[in-house]
């Protein structure tokens, strides 16, 4: 099994984090536009979206407690976009029970005012940050001007010193030349010396000459004036997901019987948000039926009830490949798409005990996620490999000290 610690991906910061944007309203628009860009997988039944909506609001509450107003607002806008606009276009929308629709409408009436209030708070926050940014820039400009002024004064002092030395050298040279041409004392006269052009030992340099400019240029340090942050790409930064190292070992022990019988086993990764990190604290094993290359869950309401009771959010899933290597099959890609559409950081872990491999994967945000969401094929079917549809989840971190609670909900 791969026990190497996974490194966090250094992503570029999104534009709504860039305090140098001149208008705070533009920053807010970037955040709103990103949040409202929600893709729906029509192959995913609508009841799962309604369930995910519950978790989105639970996550938003955690963000509010963590003082992450931006992510809370993002989740509220996503919730509004899904259930006020997009869910009605789902081909199976008519199958949603009437009580679920009414309950969702009541929730929307509460969420919309919350989103509007958060919008005002964020606008005030962005304005404050922008004012502080302008103040910092003015202070930097003042310091830079003062530094340049001191450099100029120092240069003038050096030039004045050189000119004085040159003048003294010239006077001294003239005196020496004059003493060599003095007549006898009895005549008490000095012969006229013609065509004497004493040359100074040190070249006189005028402040405006090319030599001074060149010297000043060579001595002057390079100054990087690009202090204003640049506008970066709008890829959302993935927060770290912290995984207990024991999780994979415990899961493989629990799946051992199925693995020996060449059957896949799957589980749900659940946890919480703490200090802007997603912590996997629970491994939930639902009722399921396994085969050599698939696993189907049953009685999902048991999982939902447990998560509701313990205030847990879904952070991804884990499953075994009893005889194959660690990769995502076409069915796995579609399964994971539903998780990642609801949470960008959601991961898929594949354990391949026969090859002693563990893979931590996500769909590529720039291509794979949208491609799979728009794919209408079902069952095992071919997908193009270039560009890649999935990648290693570099935002995962393994923690040897973290505790994992395993909850087996299978009916014996």
Is residue 286 a contact partner of residue 335, using CB atoms and an 8 Å limit?
A: no
Q: Supply the pLDDT for residue 103.
A: 93
Percent of the chain clearing pLDDT 90 (strictly above): 56
Torsion of CA 244, 246, 250, 251, to 10 degrees: 40
> What does the alpha-carbon distance between residue 378 and residue 380 come to, in Å, rounded to a whole number?
7
Q: Supply the pLDDT for residue 110.
A: 95
* Average of per-residue pLDDT across 127-142: 90
Instruction: For the chain, give every residue range classified as CATH 3.40.140.10.
Output: 241-408
Rounded to two decimals, what is the model's pTM? 0.65
Per the rule left: phi > 0, alpha: psi between -120 and 50, beta: everything else, 276 is left
* pLDDT tens, position by position, 72-116: 999 999 999 999 999 999 999 999 999 999 999 999 999 999 999
* Average of per-residue pLDDT across 268-283: 95
* Average of per-residue pLDDT across 1-6: 42
Q: Is the peptide bond before 11 cis (omega within 30 degrees of 0)?
A: no
* pLDDT tens, position by position, 243-270: 999 999 999 999 999 999 999 999 999 9
* pLDDT tens, position by position, 7-18: 433 345 677 777
Strand ranges, E, within 262-410: 266-274, 277-285, 287-291, 294-298, 313-320, 347-352, 357-363, 390-392, 396-399, 405-408
* pLDDT tens, position by position, 341-375: 888 999 999 999 999 999 999 999 989 998 998 88
Residue with tokens 């536009």: 33
DSSP code at position 183: -
What residues pair up with 396 in beta bridges, in sequence order? Answer: 241
Length of the chain as a residue count = 412
Q: Supply the pLDDT for residue 412.
A: 61
Query: Which of 43-47, 83-87, 235-239, 254-258 bottoms out in mean pLDDT, i.e. has the lowest?
Result: 235-239
Q: Supply the pLDDT for residue 218.
A: 43
Alpha helices in 182-271 (DSSP H): 210-219, 246-254, 256-260
First to last CA, the chain: 29
Q: What superfamily in CATH does domain 241-408 come from? A: Cytidine Deaminase, domain 2 (3.40.140.10)
DSSP code at position 380: S
Q: Token pair of 181, please?
A: 């041409």
| Among the four given CATH numbers 1.20.58.80, 3.20.20.10, 3.10.580.10, 3.40.630.30, the one describing domain 24-137 | 1.20.58.80
pLDDT above 60 (res 49): yes
Alpha helices in 180-238 (DSSP H): 210-219
* Average of per-residue pLDDT across 389-397: 96
Q: Supply the pLDDT for residue 13.
A: 65
Query: Which of 185-194, 221-230, 319-328, 344-353 bottoms out in mean pLDDT, i.e. has the lowest?
Result: 221-230
Instruction: For the chain, give every residue range classified as CATH 1.20.58.80.
Output: 24-137
Q: Supply the pLDDT for residue 180.
A: 64
Residue with tokens 């395993």: 406
């Amino acid at each position: 099994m791969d026990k190497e610690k996974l490194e966090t991906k250094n992503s570029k910061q999104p534009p709504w984090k860039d305090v140098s944007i001149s208008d705070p309203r533009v920053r807010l628009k970037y955040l709103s536009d990103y949040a409202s860009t929600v893709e729906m997988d029509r192959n995913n039944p609508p009841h799962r979206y309604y369930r995910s909506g519950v978790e989105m609001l639970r996550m938003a509450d955690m963000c509010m407690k963590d003082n992450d107003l931006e992510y809370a607002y993002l989740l509220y806008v996503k919730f509004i976009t899904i259930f006020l606009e997009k869910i009605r276009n789902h081909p199976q929308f008519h199958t949603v029970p009437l009580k679920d629709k009414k309950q969702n409408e009541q929730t929307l009436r509460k969420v919309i005012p919350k989103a509007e209030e958060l919008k005002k708070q964020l606008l005030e926050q962005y304005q404050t940050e922008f004012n502080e940014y302008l103040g910092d820039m003015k202070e930097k400009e003042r310091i830079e001007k003062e530094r340049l002024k001191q450099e100029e004064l120092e240069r003038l002092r050096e030039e004045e010193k050189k000119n004085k030395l040159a003048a003294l050298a010239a006077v001294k040279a003239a005196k020496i030349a004059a003493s060599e041409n003095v007549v006898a004392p009895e005549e008490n006269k000095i012969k006229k010396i013609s065509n004497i052009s004493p040359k100074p030992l040190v070249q006189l340099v005028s402040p405006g000459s090319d030599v001074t400019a060149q010297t000043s240029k060579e001595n002057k340090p390079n100054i990087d004036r690009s202090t204003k942050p640049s506008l970066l790409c709008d890829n959302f930064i993935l927060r770290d997901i912290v995984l207990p190292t024991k999780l994979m070992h415990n899961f493989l022990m629990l799946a051992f019987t199925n693995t020996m019988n060449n059957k896949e086993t799957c589980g749900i990764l659940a946890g919480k948000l703490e200090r802007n990190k997603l912590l996997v604290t629970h491994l939930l094993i639902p009722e399921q039926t396994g085969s050599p290359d698939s696993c189907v869950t049953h009685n999902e309401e048991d999982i939902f009830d447990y998560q509701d009771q313990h205030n847990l959010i879904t952070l991804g899933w884990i499953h075994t490949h009893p005889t194959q290597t660690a990769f995502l099959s076409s069915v796995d890609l579609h399964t994971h798409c539903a998780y990642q559409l609801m949470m960008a950081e959601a991961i898929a872990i594949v354990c391949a005990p026969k090859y002693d491999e563990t893979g931590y994967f996500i769909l590529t945000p720039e291509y794979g996620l949208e491609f799979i969401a728009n794919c209408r094929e079902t069952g095992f079917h071919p997908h193009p490999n270039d560009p890649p549809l999935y990648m290693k989840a570099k935002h995962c971190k393994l923690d040897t000290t973290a505790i994992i609670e395993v909850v087996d909900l299978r009916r014996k």
